[in-house]
Amino acid sequence: MAWDIDSTPISNQKFGRLRTRLLLSYLFVIASILTTFSVVVYALVAHDRHQQLNTHLRQVASASASTLEIIQHEYQELTTEGEYEEYKDSISTEADGTVIPITLSQLMRKYKADSDVDFVPSALAFADQGVEWFDPQQQLIVREGDLFPVTPLPNSVSPEGVLVQHGKIRSFILPVQLVSPSGTSQPLGYVRANASITRLKAELHRFRSGLVLGVAIVFGLVTLGGFWLTQESLKPILRGFEQLKQFTADASHELRNPLTAIRASIAVMQTHPERIHPADVDKLNAIASASTQMSQLVEDLLLLARMDRQASDQHTWRKIALDEMLEDLVDLYSDRAEVAQLSLNSQLLPYLEVYGDSTQLHRLFTNLLTNALQYTPPGGSVTVSLQRRETEALVCIKDTGIGIAPEQLPEIFNRFWRADPARRYHQSGSGLGLAIASAVVQRHHGKITVKSQLTLGSSFQVTFPLA
């Protein structure tokens, strides 16, 4: 399992991430609301428009149904009676003998000659519609309009009528019954009212485009507002965080002097052991050790506070030969490794130089190396290596120690964080070593990565741009 951090200052990086997370959550909520709103509005409008078209088709069909009996009667007259011979020319047949249905206007030509009455239903006054009248055998006899599906009527049609759609034509088919005064009914035929859904589709398409555009504009404005809102909402938190950092820096600074005085007094007392009561020697040693630990903690806190507050002062930077620095460090800690029964090895590529603050870099590698030595049981090994990776120097400090659980890897660079096994293994740690290490890496525009497996060991890799 590996974990890495990048090279922006920790607080900026964390607040930047928090701001992005807040903004993304806010935008996600708004996007969900807008999407749900547009889908619901579109579904309601589309449903309503389809219903309107269906209602229109039903109205046309039932208006046309009332004329079926007359139409059948007129058709019969036209086709059978000799006096209408001159109007018969409108009835023609296909090559296979099937009769081509005539239009209502053609059927009523014989009356139209003497009257101004328009026999075409007013509902058909606009384009993309059609009505067809069928006999009881589903044979089409008359039609009007300009839209007719090529499909035949379905075999069975419910008495209330049925809506069907073929391609871009929607039809309402209504069976017509002739009810005699005695109450008996007999099938008279069928009426089919047709309308094109192309116009409706185009209308809905325009509505959808308008909705999408509207939602996009609102979303754009909300995003801008979201930037401003998250910025504003984080300001008090940032202010509080700055005050906390200031407090830590001030408190550490104020603690430094009394601690120095305590340590100096203890040192003076220890130079005159004859003046100390034998029963108090152990207590004095414990006080000396605790005050040294506290001083170290205060120094670490001050260093972190300083690195948090000040931009890196690159005037003090110089070229540092990493191989020499690491070699010295390995030499320095070889005795300690021997006492802890660990093998401390180094594989250092020479002549790799980076720009930086030697004190801070020394501190970084010391923290990583002491951790490796502290958290590796006797018999294990620690290896410090230095390699070149393209334009970077890569320092790797690897141990065969207790390792870190994968879920704890994101935590290890947090201040005062210590894993439970580490607390048991080495009690006097403060949990600031890796926080300092990562702050130093960030100030040097580097990158720190950890790979670790519980009980098998850890490997901390640090890269810096080469000088």
Q: Which residues bind ligand ADP (CB under 6 A)?
A: 367, 371-372, 375, 399, 401-404, 412, 417-419, 422, 429-435, 458
Give the nearer residue to ligand ADP in terms of CB position, either 142 or 434: 434
| Token pair listed for 355 | 């720009």
- Check: CB of residue 404 under 8 Å from CB of residue 376: no
Cβ 342 to ligand ADP shortest distance, Å? 12
In whole angstroms, what is the distance from residue 372 CA to residue 382 CA? 7
Give the nearer residue to ligand ADP in terms of CB position, either 133 or 460: 460
Give the nearer residue to ligand ADP in terms of CB position, either 121 or 401: 401
Give the nearer residue to ligand ADP in terms of CB position, either 303 or 434: 434
| Residue 269, number of CB atoms within 10 A of its CB | 15
In whole angstroms, what is the distance from residue 386 CA to residue 397 CA? 9
Give the nearer residue to ligand ADP in terms of CB position, either 157 or 454: 454
Give the nearer residue to ligand ADP in terms of CB position, either 227 or 417: 417
Nearest to 450 by CA among 434, 464, 466, 436: 434
In whole angstroms, what is the distance from residue 240 CA to residue 245 CA? 9
Rg of the chain (C-alpha set): 46
| Residue 137, number of CB atoms within 10 A of its CB | 8
Cβ 452 to ligand ADP shortest distance, Å? 7
Cβ 455 to ligand ADP shortest distance, Å? 10
Cβ 409 to ligand ADP shortest distance, Å? 9
Cβ 424 to ligand ADP shortest distance, Å? 10
Cβ 430 to ligand ADP shortest distance, Å? 5
Give the nearer residue to ligand ADP in terms of CB position, either 348 or 432: 432
Nearest to 75 by CA among 98, 95, 33, 103: 103
- Check: CB of residue 433 under 8 Å from CB of residue 367: yes
CA atoms within a 13 Å half-sphere pointing along the CA-CB vector of 385: 13
Give the nearer residue to ligand ADP in terms of CB position, either 136 or 429: 429
| Residue 38, number of CB atoms within 10 A of its CB | 16
| Token pair listed for 398 | 């690897």
Cβ 283 to ligand ADP shortest distance, Å? 25
Cβ 341 to ligand ADP shortest distance, Å? 17
**Cα 332 to the center of its chain, rounded Å:** 50
Q: Three-state SS for 415?
A: coil
